[in-house]
Structure formats: structure tokens, C-alpha cells
Amino acid sequence: MDKILIHGGHPLSGSIKISGSKNSALPILAATLLTREPCILRRVPDLSDTHYMLQILMHLGAQVERASGTVTVNAETIESIAPYEVVRKMRASVCVLGPLLGRCKEATVSLPGGCVIGDRPIDLHLKGFEALGAAVRVEGGNVKVFAPKLIGAIVSLTGKFGPTVLGTDNVMMAAVLAEGITVIEGAATEPEVVDLANFLIKMGAKIEGAGTRRLIIDGVKELHGAEHDVIPDRIEAGTFLVAGAIAGKGVTIKRVVPEHISSVTDALTACGYQIQCAENSITVSPNGTAQPIELATEPYPGFPTDMQAQMCALLSTTDGISVITENIFPQRYMHVAELKRMGAHMQLEGATAVIQGVERLLGAPVMASDLRASAALVLAGLKAEGQTEVSRVYHIDRGYEHLDEKLSELGAHIERMKG
């Protein structure tokens, strides 16, 4: 099993390009199942999660070609069953339910299982399918949905912790081929949902309101092939901005949409870092002494839960007391125990982390528990004295395209040890 070794204390400078968005690419790849015609997708990131999604598409009968960051999918004939051995590696595989139901009027997809950052049920997805007229059965670890035809309806997707992104994606993909008009109330507004909607519109779907809490979908009889460029990954962008804040003399990220991560740049500005935004680039630089802050994760456009762990790493050496409250996944603090091994002073009070900044972190062997926790440990290693060894880096490979290589380009002393 691979490990990443970081020799801390080496300042970062220079620029890197941000990859295409993982959380856009996965549902967009699933959406190619909605048409018999070929689709061409560019800027698909080279990640284990996208590899798994391509395997699922091939298992369902699609022909897939990949050349660098461009993927061509031809789903002329497809099956409607995705068994456990295919979907078990990735929770996002559940987003094939919507397009399979939309096109085949039935789907059987194995439940992907639990997630280390807490319970992430798909009950809102199923509620949306039922509203469109589908019968839903959960048996033997499988979700079965089927309908003679789908009829447009009013669907509410507001959940306990805010709107569901994958649920919005799934119901939208089913509704584009339903008869009549579907209104999704409480829709997620994330840029990744807008990106999927834009791809579906290129395929011939009729969708209004993407990026708002109310989506209006006028069903069509069929969709055609399309070409699309996946948007930049805002969480990768935010992670590199925090890397620049933790250990940088001036780091620029290119090929980014600044408005997608304004909550992150606002937080860094509040901490005392200098942020300069251009049309498609952002530079972060030190600007005197960093300040502690209070932060709470919220649905978009609020501060993203996927950036919470990285901010914990940054604030661990920021003088004073910082407070972070996790409102989306209250259990998402697996990284705290590992950061403490490096000398961080953090206390958990329910869904809130109270962080007392320390003067220095010390390198240590640490274990990644999930994707964003892994990134936080790597960032802490950039700052720490001595060597940090991060194990279970397959988590990193799920969502960051060549993270170690990009950090090396910026001057980090980092290497991957093959396990």
C-alpha cells in the first residue's frame, strides 16, 4: 500500500493548474447513459473514482474510450443492473440510478454501503423517484426502481443537513425523460449541479433554474450526444490555496473559477492572508501574522464541508483560538486524532472543533481515514518539522489528480513510496 513522505519546512512558490472536478465528472459520466449517441467529455480527472465510474459504465454495456483527459462514451445498448461487486468501491456510483430509470424505466443498483464520514442515506433520491411515479423496493442490499412511465411532479429534496447534491443530480437525470414538467424544490445549488444541468441541456434537455433552489424540468422524448468540458475542481483549488497559506511564499492556482470558492478565499482573507483574484486564477500570499477565526460549514455558497479538514490543519498553527463547526456531516473529524499526533491542540465538543494554535507541528506517522482528511494530513506535513509519513493514500487518489507531483512543482519535498 502506497505511502506519502513529506519533509516539512520547505516553502512553496510558483503556480499549478487545477484539474477537472471529480464531483462534476462522476454524475456527468453517468448522464451519458441517457442517450444512444456518443458523448465526448474533456477535462475528466485521472482519479480512482473516475476509473471506477468508467468500469460501471462498461459493465452496463457502454463502450468507453479514454485518451488523456478526454473520455468518449457510447451507450447505444445498455443493461439496467449494477451489482455490488461493481459499485461497492464508490458511493457516487448510486448516481447511475437516475439515468437508468429515465432511459430504461427500471434500474437495480446495489447499495454502496456506509461512509467513514457518517451516514449518507439515499432516501431523498428514492423519494424523488417515487414522486415521478416509480415503484421503489430495497431488498437484499439492492435498490430496485421501476415505472411503466415517469410523470413530471413537484419534488422536495430538502434534507436534515440541507439539500442533497447527488439526490438533485439523480432526480434531475430521471426527470429529463419524464412526461410533463418536474419542479425540484430545495435543489442543491452547487456549481457541480449546474455543470451537470449544462451538459444535459447540450444533450437536448429542457432545464431552468440551475444554481437556484428551484429547478424546472420539461421532459423530452429523447436526448442526443454532446461534447462538454468539465468545470475546474473547486475543492482541489481550495486545498492548494490552503497549502499556499500553510507553507507558501506566494502560490498561484490557474484554470479556476474564483466565484466557486469565494467562501474559502473569504476565510483565508479573514485569517490575514493576501488573496488576489484574476479571471481564472487566484494567488495567496502571507501578509503579516495570521489570525484565528470562527467558521461553520454550510451548503453552497457557504463554506464547504469538503474544506473543513484542510482548514483544521491551517488553524492548528495559527496563534490564538479558532472554532470550526461542522453542520453538514457532524462526525467528520477523523483527522483530528491524527493532527494531535503531530502536536496540534484540538478539542471536539459535539460537531465543533476548538483549535488552540501551536508554534510548531512535528512530523509523525499518520493514517488517512478519508479523502479530505488525507489532504489535511499532507498539508500539515508541509508545515511540520521533520518527516511526516501518510499511509492509506489510496484515499487521496480518489479525489486529487497527482497531488504529490503538483506539490513538488511548487517546491514541496514530497515523495510517494510504493507499497
Say how far apart CA 238 and CA 113 lie, in whole Å.
28
Model pLDDT, residue 329 = 87
User: Does residue 129 fall inside a structural domain?
Assistant: yes
Q: Are residues 179 and 194 in the same domain?
A: yes
Say how far apart CA 47 and CA 394 lie, in whole Å.
10
Q: Are residues 97 and 207 in the same domain?
A: yes
Q: Distance from CA of residue 329 to its chain's centroid? A: 14
Give the chain's end-to-end CA distance (angstroms, integer): 4
Q: Are residues 92 and 217 in the same domain?
A: yes
- Are 5 and 387 within 8 A, CB to CB? yes
Q: Which amino acid is at 264?
A: V
C-alpha cell at 111: 447499495
Model pLDDT, residue 197 = 98
Q: Are residues 187 and 319 in the same domain?
A: no
* Whether 115 is catalytic: yes
Say how far apart CA 112 and CA 117 lie, in whole Å.
14
Q: How far is CA 140 from CA 87, 111, 143, in A?
A: 15, 9, 8
Model pLDDT, residue 297 = 97
User: Does residue 180 fall inside a structural domain?
Assistant: yes
Model pLDDT, residue 288 = 86
CATH number, domain of 38, equals 3.65.10.10
C-alpha cell at 326: 461542522
User: Does residue 20 fall inside a structural domain?
Assistant: no
> Per-residue pLDDT for the chain (419 aa), expressed as one digit of tens each?
889 999 999 999 999 999 999 999 999 999 999 999 999 999 999 999 999 999 999 999 999 999 989 999 999 999 999 888 888 777 778 999 999 999 999 999 987 654 443 445 788 999 999 999 999 998 888 889 999 999 999 999 987 777 899 999 999 999 999 999 999 999 999 999 999 999 999 999 999 999 999 999 999 999 999 999 999 999 999 999 999 999 999 999 999 999 999 999 999 999 999 999 999 999 999 998 999 999 999 999 999 999 999 999 999 999 999 999 999 988 899 999 999 999 999 999 999 999 999 999 999 999 988 999 999 999 999 999 999 999 999 999 999 999 999 999 999 999 999 87
Closest to 181 measured CA to CA, from 156, 153, 201? 153
The residue among 211, 229, 247 that closes a domain is 229
Model pLDDT, residue 163 = 87
* Cα torsion angle, 292, 298, 304, 305, sign: positive
Model pLDDT, residue 61 = 97
User: Does residue 270 fall inside a structural domain?
Assistant: yes
Q: Are residues 218 and 347 in the same domain?
A: no
Q: Which domain holds residue 302?
A: 3-14+232-417
Model pLDDT, residue 377 = 98
Say how far apart CA 357 and CA 366 lie, in whole Å.
20
User: Does residue 357 fall inside a structural domain?
Assistant: yes
Place of cell 510548531: 360
Closest to 240 measured CA to CA, from 375, 89, 48, 388? 375
Say how far apart CA 38 and CA 384 lie, in whole Å.
49
Model pLDDT, residue 83 = 81
Say how far apart CA 377 and CA 246 lie, in whole Å.
12
- Are 33 and 416 within 8 A, CB to CB? no
Say how far apart CA 390 and CA 237 lie, in whole Å.
21
Say how far apart CA 327 and CA 255 lie, in whole Å.
30
Query: What values do phi and psi take at 129, rounded to 5?
Result: -65, -40
Identified catalytic residue from 39, 104, 115, 312: 115
Model pLDDT, residue 114 = 44
Q: Are residues 208 and 239 in the same domain?
A: no
**Taking CA 386 as the corner, what is the angle to CA 384 and CA 389, rounded to the nearest 5 degrees?**
85
The residue among 214, 229, 244 that closes a domain is 229
User: Does residue 19 fall inside a structural domain?
Assistant: no
Q: Are residues 284 and 224 in the same domain?
A: no
User: Does residue 162 fall inside a structural domain?
Assistant: yes
Q: Are residues 243 and 341 in the same domain?
A: yes
Q: Are residues 83 and 215 in the same domain?
A: yes
- Are 239 and 251 within 8 A, CB to CB? no
The domain total for the chain is: 2
User: Does residue 138 fall inside a structural domain?
Assistant: yes
Q: Are residues 268 and 156 in the same domain?
A: no
Q: Are residues 118 and 174 in the same domain?
A: yes
**Taking CA 129 as the corner, what is the angle to CA 87 and CA 183, rounded to the nearest 5 degrees?**
125
- Are 343 and 361 within 8 A, CB to CB? yes
Say how far apart CA 335 and CA 371 lie, in whole Å.
10
Q: Are residues 136 and 170 in the same domain?
A: yes
The residue among 181, 210, 229 that closes a domain is 229
